[in-house]
Amino acid sequence: MQALLQTDAPTRRPRTDRLPGVPTLVLRASVGALVTAAAVVALRSVPSTRLVAGILVLAALVVLTPVARTLSRRLLLVGTALLGWVQVLWWLDLSALPIDRTSLLLAAWSAALTAWVLAGRRPRQRVAALVPTVRAVDAIPVVGAGVALAALSDRLLVRDPARALDTLLGGWDNAGHFAMFHMIRLRGTTVAEQVPPVDAASWGYADYPQGYHALAASVAELLAGAHDGGGPMLELLLFSRATAIIAIAGCLVVLAGVCSLEPLRRMAVALPVAAVVLTALSLGTGYELLRWGFPNFFLATTLAAALFFVTYRSQGPRDLPMLVAATGAVVGIVHGWFPLAAIAGPLALAAFGPLRRSTWHLSRARWTSVGVLAVCTLAAVYYSRTILGEVDTRTSIGLDGGFPAEDHGIVIAVVCVTLCLSVLRAATRRRGDALADPHAWATVLAVTAGTGAAVFLAVYQQTNFGKLTYYLWKFESGLLLACTLIGAALLGLLGARLLAPTGVAQRRTTLVASSVAALGLTQSMGMVVPNLDGTSIITSITSPRPEPLALPAQVDRLVATGDLIEATEAAARRPDAIVVYLAYPTDYRSIGRNTQQWLLGLTDRWTDVGQRTYSAMPDGVPGTPEEAAQFAGELLETSPRVVLAVRAESADQIVPILVAADPAYADRIEVIG
């Protein structure tokens, strides 16, 4: 019977999954990529869905790109790479393409991610890899970005061009940054690659690296698409929003870096560190940089600090996403503010990872990828140096400018504390760890090199110009901000061992203490508490900093704002003219050179010819109609294309004097107001 049952029993064959072959995988991946790219392009091509689709697709791509396991690490790597490498899209003229650069980037990125999933023999496993690991600590970067948004809401949520211009008038250099952004938007490439107009030798700022401004142009495309003739007022709104978005992204990236460090991936440890970082960026030194009109410097400093987190425990060339992020930070820094390479260079060296022979045992494909990335990075650095080669460095180092000098005692204290913490971290590592993980000593070298660069600038300026000026104050602020961010992270790494409670009660106690410490640290850098005078611990123990320029009060800037907008409209009626705004009579001081800078930027007239009108502007205010008329005549003689924009109430006083001197002046005056 048993033999009979065995004979009649059906034979069970082992189950085998039929995996698709290579042609099927290629076809499936190609079709999926094309469909995804077409869907993104279609959504971005419709004005009503362009903004929402762009933001949602970008957010999904940043979160789902599997470059790391944890959410914070993904935000750090992808965010740093985008902030640094996106500018490359503007080095070439791609205006012949039917879609804008940002839509092209989103479509290509979406297609590549879709193809990667469908090219796998088991796509479900790859889909699972898209989802990052999330802990409670990963909420800190998102919450921090919300705080930064609130701090910059006057720039981000503005809808009135006059209000946007009024806010930007508070920082002298905002005029030049907007002009570069505007020129890039109008002609589709950075200014160095643009052909100058026939009546001028060059565009303004052709010798200025424009990585930040190209990034801002990409953000503007994300918000509104390619430039379609919307006019300077729309571009002004886009620039204001782009500066806010980039600053928020910088805060998000650095906070994600804090939460990506494995010893800090506990709320009790990460919260105080994140409080220092967020406050320094959105309420302290970082906010001051934005307020005074240095958004490119803010971004470069943020990327220098982000390098500390990107290269932490680097695995060298084996970790290609880390290399892409690290090189992106380097490119963003050298095309944002080159001197900060003194801080970024040593931290970038840590990306090469463990100094062991096994680190460099790579496949041919990986060597090819690393080689291409290295060549692109070196080419980008060389390109920035080529642009700066047109500048007389020895003279420009001694230039005066509008920048508030930091309190030297605070700078020295923060730098010394950061240097001591970095040395302590490096010295307490076990023997052999320096070769296995050179990041600790690279941090020591970065702080030392930054300090040395500041000392060199001070000695050079004092020796050659007899005073300390703009570039030292600016570098000093960058060093202070970078050391604040890195020092907070170092303190968290060293203190993580002390904050390792095991019981539930201890965890709760530690978290409460950590929250109180975080709140106190925010106040130490200038957080305004309701019903108090708004001073912080730091500002209350230091002497007031000197004002860099005599900028006007808010109500006075509003007057200048209306005049500038009307002068811009007058320039639209004379497309071949260089309009110069003559402010007389006036009781506000935001006139002259800065006003003319804004007018040149808004009217796209910032050339070497337009620069002469800016250089001819006086530092003061004409006191009488005769003085105003004499000054107006000097401006009109700088170029036959110059046209004066004069207020209606002052035209009756100035125009007759001008016409009496030369009747031809009558056709070169536009009355506004």
- CA dist 215 and 222 (Å) reads 11
> Per-residue pLDDT tens for 252-273?
999 999 999 999 998 888 888 9
Q: What is the pLDDT of residue 7?
A: 43
- CA dist 109 and 105 (Å) reads 6
Q: What is the pLDDT of residue 388?
A: 85
Is the CB of residue 461 less than 8 Å from the CB of residue 468? yes
Q: What is the pLDDT of residue 178?
A: 95
Is the CB of residue 322 less than 8 Å from the CB of residue 311? yes
Q: What is the pLDDT of residue 512?
A: 59
DSSP assignment string, 449-518: HHHHHHHHHHHHHHHHHSS--HHHHHHHHHHHHHHHHHHHHHHHHHHTTT----SHHHHHHHHHHHHHHH
- CA dist 282 and 530 (Å) reads 18
Q: How far is CA 290 from CA 216, 303, 363, 388, in A?
A: 14, 15, 45, 23
- CA dist 503 and 489 (Å) reads 25
Q: Which of 415, 81, 55 is nearest to 256 (CA)?
A: 81
- CA dist 183 and 196 (Å) reads 11
Q: What is the pLDDT of residue 619?
A: 61
CA–centroid distance for 614 within its chain? 28
Tell me the backbone φ, ψ of residue 644, rounded to 5 degrees.
Answer: -90, 135
Is the CB of residue 629 less than 8 Å from the CB of residue 654? yes
Low-confidence ranges of the chain (pLDDT < 50): 1-10, 16, 526-556, 558, 587-590
**Residue 327, token pair as written in the block:** 């090189």
